[in-house]
Structures are given as C-alpha cells and as structure tokens.
Structure 1
Amino acid sequence: MFRIEAEVDRDRRDLLRSRLRDTNTAASPVLAALRGTPAEREYPLHVWALDAAGDLAGGLVGHTWTTWLHVTYLWVDAAHRGTGLGARLLARAEHIATTGRGCTASRVETWDFQAPDFYRKQGYEVACVIPDYPPGITEYTLTKRLG
C-alpha cells in the first residue's frame, strides 16, 4: 500500500535527485567514472553586462556539468538588442566553459519566438524540435561543439 502525495517538498526533491544520480551512476560506466571527480558536480556559470549607470543590460545564467555548458537563460534588455551584446555574453560563457572547466560542448533550449536564429548564427545546430510545447509554440534544443 502506498500513499501518493503531490506537494512541493525540497527535502524529498533533493533525496530523489541523489537517489536518481546514484541509480544512473550505477547503470552508466561513463557516469561511474566521473563519481567523486570535480566533473561530477554542476558548477554555476553567470555572465553579466552592466550599462554605464551600472544597471543590468543583459546576462547569461547556466551551469557546467561533465564536459557540457548548459545555457539556462540568456537575456538582453530591449535597448541593447542588435548591438552584439548577446553574442558577447554567449562567447564569454563558452570561453569560461572551455578554458576553465574543460567543456567541449554547449546546449540551450529556446522557443521559436525567442532566439533559434541567434543561436544558429553563433554556430549552434538544432538537435531537437518539440512542436506545441507549450501549445502553439515550438521549442528547440540546440547544441554546439566548443573549442
């Protein structure tokens, strides 16, 4: 007999993540080889652009894990779009990921109305397309080999 609950519980989330990581590590020789090494951990990677007044003009939030950079958010204020700032933020994150963290690839998810063409111009290739996620919108996963 089981009791099924649907509630936000950070402690259980962390326990579940730890147990899933252990299960995945046991099933994968690649992940097992990373066990206990610095590459096993996710490391935050943030890059910020501030304007002359010190206000946020743009930024990139992501993390590195194993040999991958994962770009979670990349945003540029409307007043600074079209200036190359987004490309500079992305290039800086890729540089940090490759030179300081040994990354050889990068990935990002974006929607059709956001920036798939921007990422293609930066050398990313479409790896996955999910139509109607959310309804009426297409999500793209793009990847790039770094270095």
Structure 2
Amino acid sequence: MNHDHDAVGLTVGGRDPDLAKLLDRGLDAYNFAATGTTAEDQGELSVRAVDPATGETVGGLTAWTWGGLLGIDMLWVHEDHRRGRWGSRLLRAAEAEARRRGCDRAVVSSFTFQAPDFYRRHGYAETGRTLGIPGGAEDVHFHKSLTTP
C-alpha cells in the first residue's frame, strides 16, 4: 500500500476553534465507542465564588465530568481572598456536584509552584509527575476517591 504523505497539507498556527470542534467530535465518537459511554455521560461543571459584601467574583473552578470521573481543569482564588477558605469551598462544591452526577473519583494536576499541598490536604493522592516545566517546576498529578465526602 502506497501512502503519499506529501499530498496532505499541514498548517501550523495559533488557536483554531474549528479544528478544536472537529477533534472534540472525532475523539468523543472514538471514546464513546471504546468505553460504552455516551454524550449524556459527559458534562461541563463550574463553581463561582462571589464576595457577598461586594458582589465581585473572587474565584472559581472549572471542570468536566465523564464516565464517573470529575476532571478539574482550573481552580483560582484572588490573592486578597486566599485566606477565606474560598478554595476549599469551591473544591467541596465541585465534588458534591460530581457525586450528584454519579462520579466516584476525581483527578487534577497542579504545578509545584501552585497548590499541590492544597489538594493533598483535601484527600488527593499523588499519582505521578511531569518534569521539565519552565523554571524547574513539575506538574503533579492527583487522584481522589469520591465515595466518601
């Protein structure tokens, strides 16, 4: 079989929303078939923290759920509010919503200069690291069972 790879054009650039949508659809179809899950098994999840005194957003968490798994993408709290336990509240709220959706485990990663100790304090266990983050940091990967609150 002769494959003419030179006949395929490659383009390199910045963010490509159309390509991202195409890849999402293609990977979803493959992943659903491989795991026996459906589009109904996945969803987006967000939690917003608002200062009741000012009405300002002081932090938030974004995540996804799929096939019994909560995947935390981002958790951030404004520097002025980091001692107010907002991060813990955000995390607990996301875990509670994930449980409501039928999730029994969670994953997250955090650079060593961010919040790995925060996740450890909340019951997350380190499962591995990606080395070579600029500045000598590492990306620490965590897992937690959600079967107990």
Which TM-score band applies after superposition, normalised by the shorter structure? 0.7 to 0.9
* CA 9–89 in structure 1, closer or farther in 2 if over 3 Å, else same: closer
SS of corresponding position for 2:143: strand
What is the CA–CA distance in structure 2 between the aligned matches of 1:22 and 1:88, rounded to whole Å? 35
Tell me, in whole angstroms, the C-alpha distance in 2 between the residues paired with 1:9 and 1:58.
28
- In the alignment, the residues of structure 2 paired with residue 54 and residue 47 of structure 1 have an alpha-carbon distance, to the nearest angstrom, of 15
Partner residue, 2:140: 140
Match of 1:106 in 2: 106
How far did 1:133 drift? 2.1
Aligned residue type for 2:113:
F
Q: Secondary structure at the match of 2:119?
A: helix
Task: Give the superposition deviation at 1:120.
Answer: 0.2
Q: How many corresponding residue pairs?
A: 139
Which amino acid in 1 is paired with 2:68? Answer: T
The alignment yields a C-alpha RMSD, in angstroms, of 1.7
Distance 1:9 1:95 in 2: 34
Q: Which has the larger radius of gyration?
A: 2
Q: Cα–Cα, structure 1 residues 12 and 75, in superposed 2: closer, same or farther, change >3 Å?
A: closer
Give the stretch that moved more between structures: 137-146 or 7-16.
7-16
5+ residue gaps, structure 2:
1-6
In structure 2, do the counterparts of structure 1 residues 16 and 88 end up closer, same or farther at CA, with 3 Å as the change threshold?
closer
Q: Do the aligned partners of residues 16 and 63 (structure 1) sit closer, same or farther apart at CA in structure 2, a change above 3 Å counting? A: closer
Partner of 1:35: 38
Q: Identity over the aligned pairs, expressed in percent?
A: 35
Matched, 1:5 2:11: yes
- Which stretches of structure 1, 4 residues or longer, exceed 4 Å deviation after superposition? none
SS of equivalent residue, structure 1 residue 132:
strand
C-alpha distance in structure 2 between counterparts of 1:23 and 1:96, whole Å: 27
d(CA) in 1 for partners of 2:95 and 2:49? Answer: 15
1:54 to 1:140, Cα distance in 2 relative to 1, 3 A: same
Aligned counterpart, 1:90: 91
**Matches of 1:14 and 1:23 in 2, distance apart?**
14
SS in 1 for 2:12: coil
What displacement does 1:25 show? 4.2
In the alignment, structure 1 segments of 5+ residues that lack a partner are: none
Aligned residue runs from structure 1 range 49-60, under 5 A: 49-51=49-51, 52-60=53-61
